[in-house]
Structure 1
Amino acid sequence: MHVTSKKLSIRNYRLLPLVIGVGLALASCSQKTTSHTADTSVATATTETVEADTASEFEVPVEYYTLDNGLKVILSPDKTAPIVTVAAYYNIGFRIEPKDRTGFAHLFEHMMFQGSDNLGKMEFIQLVQKNGGVLNGSTRFDFTNYFEIVPAHKLETMLWAEADRMKGLNITQENLTNQQGVVKNEVKVNVLNQPYGGFPWLDMPQYANKNWYNAHNFYGDLEDLDAASLEDVQSFFKTYYATNNAALVVVGDFDPAQAKEWVQQYFGDIPSAPLPEKANLTEPRQEKEQRFTKDDKLANKPAIAFAYHMPERNTPEYYAMGLLDQILLQGDDSRLHQALVQDKGYTGSVSGGINYLGNMFNYNGPMLWMGDLVHDKEVSADSIINVLDQEIAKLQQNGITQEQLDLALVKMRSSLYDQVSQMYGFGKADLLATFALFDDNPSRINELEEEFKKVTPEVMQQTIKEYLRPTNRTILVVNPQAQI
């Protein structure tokens, strides 16, 4: 397990460090840094370029069906390379883990690699690696996922292996105790014992949100991790890792008819389970700006993060915020980079975006649009917030022209296509799985670009007024305590 890099695809991708396994033949399994916006040359494209680009739109093939036991299955053939990605997504993430068991969803993700009915401890990982593949697993706000990327002729093997642990995980006290230690050490290494640990991806939701489900320590308090019992783990598996709470995706070079036979053969007899009532995740409308300071004994420079509550997912304002993110934060041409880095010289870089544990599409509840930066001690937090307010005010007062909107669309389109093509089909599988889980519509992957195109300058103005108001904002400042 190790910390992954900060930036990936559509926005800053602060993936909680839950990497399992090491890639061999195909690639490293750790998430890699890639550009999360279009090049500056693309960002300065003309409206004519935007219109020309629309002619090159592509459709992701989607075959979607549900087994009798409730398992959602998505098949997306792609003959580009002789490889396949198999991904199992479970509709359980940080938000709805049991109270007084913070970090439990993450802990359980570790347990899924401790063996199953026919594969002993570490044998799942070895099976993938010895067949020339890579694998990974992670826990996010609203799902836990597992995926393997292997040579195409090993598809059946991977389907069998995923089904084996879905139907019968090896849950023992020895495995639980071992993984409790692993996770606690991970918390110490990645959060407690490094500068800016948990800032702001872990910290900010706890300050900005009011609902416990959205505001607790997702990584887990050490005493809560210790308190997890074998009965807790067994109950969690039976409840949330059932077929009717999951989606299975196959992307790559395969025959759909053959894949459907294997899916039915290996997953069809796994029983479904009663699911608990969905947790209430709603957040109250924020009416007053919040400001907090966090002392950091290991940091030697101050840092600041700002967060605004997002519009509800899939609304016109939601898509408008995606475009405002491109205008304000994404890329060297963004307003905040130009103002804070190029003009003022307050910092060397500004990070940010929608959903620090993924992208703006793969979550299903309240979310924050955030930005963060480390700066010199001579620069006050208020100076940085003043620049932020000025740039937002310019957009509000001057309006957003259709030309500016078109340029934001170019950047968004480039980022979206980066996401779809990411990591040998995993990016495509990720969107297909989450759209199946959250919307019962994986074909939504082919509708995103049109939804962004529907956003008008008027909708952009309405979104700025309601969602980028200072009273919808939380500020978190890191106070450095390290001796230089």
Structure 2
Amino acid sequence: MEVTTHLLSNGITLLHHYDGATRMVALHLQYDVGARDERPGHTGLAHLLEHLMFTGSAHVASYDAPLQAAGGVSNAWTSNDITCYYDVLPAHNIETALWTESDRLLDLTLSDESIATQKSVVTEEFKERFLNAPYGDVFHLVAHLAYKVHPYRWPTIGNSVQEIESFTKQEIGEFYRKHYVPGNLVMCISGNIACDKAVALAEKWMGSVPVRPVPVRNLPQEPEQKGPRLVEVKRAVPMNMIVRAYRMCGRGDADYHACDMLSDVLANGKSSRFYANVLSQTQLFTELDAAVAGSNDPGLFYVRGRLADGVSWQQAEDAIDDQLRLLLEHGVSRDEMEKCANKAESTMLFENVSYSTVASKLCQFHLLTGQASDINTEAERYRRLRPDDLMRVAKKLFDPNHCSTVHYGAQGSAD
């Protein structure tokens, strides 16, 4: 995949990818700021600001209106690590998106009314998704258990409704001015637009944004976990759930792809270990899967299962431990690894059909490694893995002393 990188004089990084199969264009902007850049007691600010970025700026009273008039759509999302805004519209209308994005980077309007409205929206989202939804707070519990000092210990949406509601206009404005600066932004234009035109338009609309200091990130490093951790709760849910979280490396670490492949060996598809040996052969779980967090800083490897009626926590723990023990004692076969590498590559190829997904991934690779072109070697990183690599990583990964477990019990169920 061909990608061109251009650095604007104010520090904005522009990425370009041409796709002649569409008449559309995607503009993705990823700011190097997320929930990890917040302070204890002031969580959820990055996500709240994402909402406020759509409420108007100096010359754009309503962000969505001009974009919709140009035949486009827009949206955004916030993670622990980054905040992403994206616009998709006909290629000949790309300047509309660049104009609106530059205006809200230059001079966001923060009115008392918009702040109150978006606080209400976000608190309702918090209640709907995390307080009132079955199992909604399970990964909040896991994060608080697994992390003691690193800001990954709180969720992106914030720790509580009270913290979200407590933000002042001054605090929001300071966070915006600190983190929404040109040197903290990578943007990608992907679709049916030539590179020289994309560069010229980016310079026209984004190049005049004044240079501002790029914040220095100095996060507390999570100390080594020296023993297993367990928390047990009861909630109004239909079935018991167990979630284990093992400490693992970050997304840019050399061992990340081995961790990801181990999750596929255990839980990706009907030939995976969990499906073939547990779900198909026993009546212990109704669901059992594994996944990696994929966070920039050292993250978590999850094992999650819903217990069948009448199954004890010990039976569930033993079944998971049996599969991990078999993996550690006998390793992973080359056939299993080839299957997982094939699935990983096919997933990437299908994702890369979308010019908008490509734009997002190119930005992420640039922020992660400094080289957007690393997207082209991602599949090969899985193919280069050997059985010894997976065994070495698995022995370190599945150390019981590095595991945090939540027993999420249904009210009325036996302990």
Q: Classify the secondary structure of the residue corresponding to 1:349.
A: strand
Structure 1 segments, 4+ long, off by >4 Å, are none
What residue in structure 1 maps to residue 172 of structure 2?
233
1:93 aligns with 2:9: no
Q: Classify the secondary structure of the residue corresponding to 2:63.
A: helix
1:242 aligns with 2:181: yes
Change (3 A) 1:295 1:286: same
Separation in 2, partners of 1:81, 1:350: 40
Separation in 2, partners of 1:84, 1:249: 10
Q: Deviations over 1:215-239 (max 9, x none)?
A: 1243221221122111111111111
Separation in 2, partners of 1:459, 1:398: 13
What residue in structure 2 maps to residue 174 of structure 1?
113
Separation in 2, partners of 1:281, 1:88: 27
Q: Deviations over 1:406-440 (max 9, x none)?
A: 1221122122223333xx32321222111212321
Structure 1: gaps spanning 5 or more residues:
1-59
What residue in structure 2 maps to residue 367 of structure 1?
299
Separation in 2, partners of 1:227, 1:315: 37
What residue in structure 1 maps to residue 54 of structure 2?
113
What residue in structure 1 maps to residue 334 of structure 2?
402
Q: Deviations over 1:301-354 (max 9, x none)?
A: 111111111124433422111111111122222111223321113333334411
For 1:51-450, what aligned pairs fall within 5 Å after superposition? 60-120=1-61, 123-200=62-139, 202-220=140-158, 221-296=160-235, 298-355=236-293, 360=294, 363-421=295-353, 424-450=354-380
Q: Classify the secondary structure of the residue corresponding to 2:59.
A: coil
Contact 1:64–1:73 (CA under 8 A) maintained in structure 2: yes
Q: Deviations over 1:329-388 (max 9, x none)?
A: 222221112233211133333344112xxxx3xx31121111323223311222222122
What residue in structure 2 maps to residue 41 of structure 1?
none
1:71: how far off?
A: 0.6
Amino acid at match of 1:168: D
Contact 1:93–1:144 (CA under 8 A) maintained in structure 2: yes
Question: How well do the aligned residues superpose, as a CA RMSD in angstroms?
Answer: 1.8
Amino acid at match of 1:194: A
Q: Classify the secondary structure of the residue corresponding to 1:348.
A: strand
Contact 1:214–1:366 (CA under 8 A) maintained in structure 2: no
Change (3 A) 1:99 1:275: farther
- After TM superposition, the structure 1 stretch with the greater mean CA deviation from structure 2, 462-471 or 403-412, is 403-412
Identity across matched positions, percent: 25
Contact 2:6–2:199 (CA under 8 A) maintained in structure 1: no
Separation in 2, partners of 1:395, 1:352: 14
Separation in 2, partners of 1:104, 1:258: 36
1:453 aligns with 2:383: yes
Q: Classify the secondary structure of the residue corresponding to 1:272.
A: coil
1:129: how far off?
A: 2.7
Change (3 A) 1:482 1:193: farther
1:115: how far off?
A: 0.4
Separation in 2, partners of 1:178, 1:241: 22
Change (3 A) 1:272 1:99: farther
> Aligned pairs, how many?
412
1:118: how far off?
A: 1.5
Separation in 1, partners of 2:318, 2:351: 33
Contact 1:330–1:353 (CA under 8 A) maintained in structure 2: no
Separation in 2, partners of 1:439, 1:417: 21
Amino acid at match of 2:292: I
TM-score (norm 1): 0.81
Contact 1:329–1:371 (CA under 8 A) maintained in structure 2: no
Q: Classify the secondary structure of the residue corresponding to 1:463.
A: helix
What residue in structure 2 maps to residue 481 of structure 1?
411
Separation in 1, partners of 2:394, 2:222: 19
Separation in 2, partners of 1:139, 1:94: 8
Separation in 2, partners of 1:314, 1:475: 25
Contact 2:43–2:154 (CA under 8 A) maintained in structure 1: yes
Separation in 2, partners of 1:199, 1:478: 7
- After TM superposition, the structure 1 stretch with the greater mean CA deviation from structure 2, 281-290 or 434-443, is 281-290
Separation in 2, partners of 1:218, 1:155: 30
